[in-house]
Amino acid sequence: MSKRVVILTGGVGGAKLVLGLMQIMPAERITAIVNTGDDFEHLGLAISPDLDTLLYTLSGKANAAQGWGRDGESWQFMDALKSLGGEDWFLLGDGDMALHVLRTRLLATGNPLSAVTARFAKAWGVDIAMLPMTDDPVATHLTTDEGDLPFQHYFVARRCAPKVQAIRFEGADHASPAPGVLEAIAEADAILIAPSNPWLSVDPLLAVPGIRTALETAKAPIVAVSPIVGGQAVKGPTAKLMSELGLGITNTSIAAHYNGVIDGLLVDMRDGDEDLSLSHMVTDTLMQTLDDRARVAQAALDLAARLAS
């Protein structure tokens, strides 16, 4: 019986690691629990960026270079929207619109996000279990030197320029884990945390009541893949955010942030000499090719196996 693996993930970093896992184990034994703190309503549409990045990546439709949206996208809708003076700071591709329009319609007629996600995954031949962290509304907001910003306004409209002082997840206190989330964590043989931004993409997951406790009591070893490579973050605002939060851009900071949740940390060889108290393994964690992704996924599972024994 091959092992059951659960991966907690945001968008891009997690999608790469899931692709890597799919090269080395059956997709049916993989469950991705996905951040929905980036979700928001835009032009009346329900947008779920991290779920969509995973859907696109795992179905081979992703614009990998861009890190979001579809490959070969067209922009007639945006051109027409602009001509009417509509909000054009958040780009919605013509193909991408199908996801948002149908998801909005299905949610409005009473289907939970988890059911909508499962339907889309099935439609696009994605065989892993893709679970939103919750079916309830949770919204990441940032307190910055430009005031209180909803996540997409910080990330897209302001390109992560504002200085972050605090982060909160509105609605998390009243949210419940989506169906299957706690069971997947309890039944897992290994639990991985993707190299997503710990503060922006993983913390929303840990803020949903029940999920952190489930992780702390899980039988499976929990291994995080560090988002830091060579004292920097591979992409996105992670390093800048860490500095603004007064943290060193080190694996010591990552280990401290996940203290009590993880049992091991997969660190990049460029940071391998850092003295870490936590169990860790050193490998090349840069994931550019499919082979890279398989290698990092295997290394994470090897560390988990070492911790389990």
Q: Is 135 a residue that touches ligand FO1 (CB under 6 A)?
A: no
Closest to ligand FO1 by CB, 221 vs 236, is 236
Q: Is 68 a residue that touches ligand FO1 (CB under 6 A)?
A: yes
**Strands across the sheet containing 147-150:** 147-150, 139-144, 164-170
| Alpha-carbon gap, residue 205 to 34, rounded angstroms | 8
Beta bridge partners of 62: 70
Which residue of 13, 20, 49, 195 would you call a contact of ligand FO1, by CB under 6 A? 49
* Residues in contact with 222: Cβ distance below 8 Å, sequence separation at least 6, in sequence order: 191, 192, 193, 215, 261, 262, 263, 264, 304
Q: Is 38 a residue that touches ligand FO1 (CB under 6 A)?
A: yes
Closest to ligand FO1 by CB, 153 vs 295, is 153
Q: Is 198 a residue that touches ligand FO1 (CB under 6 A)?
A: no
* Residues in contact with 258: Cβ distance below 8 Å, sequence separation at least 6, in sequence order: 193, 198, 224, 265
Strand bridging mode 279-283 / 264-268? parallel
DSSP string, 44-70: TEEE-HHHHHHHHHHTT-B-TTTTSSB
- Least separation in angstroms between residue 109's CB and ligand FO1 is 21
Q: Is 199 a residue that touches ligand FO1 (CB under 6 A)?
A: no
Find the part of the chain contacting ligand FO1 (CB under 6 A) among 90-98, 123-131, 259-267, 270-278. 90-98
| Alpha-carbon gap, residue 251 to 140, rounded angstroms | 24
Closest to ligand FO1 by CB, 93 vs 177, is 93
Q: Is 156 a residue that touches ligand FO1 (CB under 6 A)?
A: yes
| Alpha-carbon gap, residue 211 to 182, rounded angstroms | 7
Closest to ligand FO1 by CB, 73 vs 284, is 73
Burial of 110 (0-12, 13-18, 19+ CB in 10 A): exposed
* Cβ pair 135, 48 in contact under 8 A: no
- Least separation in angstroms between residue 178's CB and ligand FO1 is 18
Find the part of the chain contacting ligand FO1 (CB under 6 A) among 87-95, 180-188, 219-227, 291-299. 87-95
x/- map, 210-239, ligand FO1, by CB under 6 A: ------------------------------
Burial of 127 (0-12, 13-18, 19+ CB in 10 A): middle
Q: Is 155 a residue that touches ligand FO1 (CB under 6 A)?
A: yes
Which residue of 32, 47, 178, 190 would you call a contact of ligand FO1, by CB under 6 A? 47
Site of interaction with ligand FO1 (CB under 6 A): 10-11, 38, 47, 49-50, 52-53, 68-69, 90-92, 96, 152, 155-156
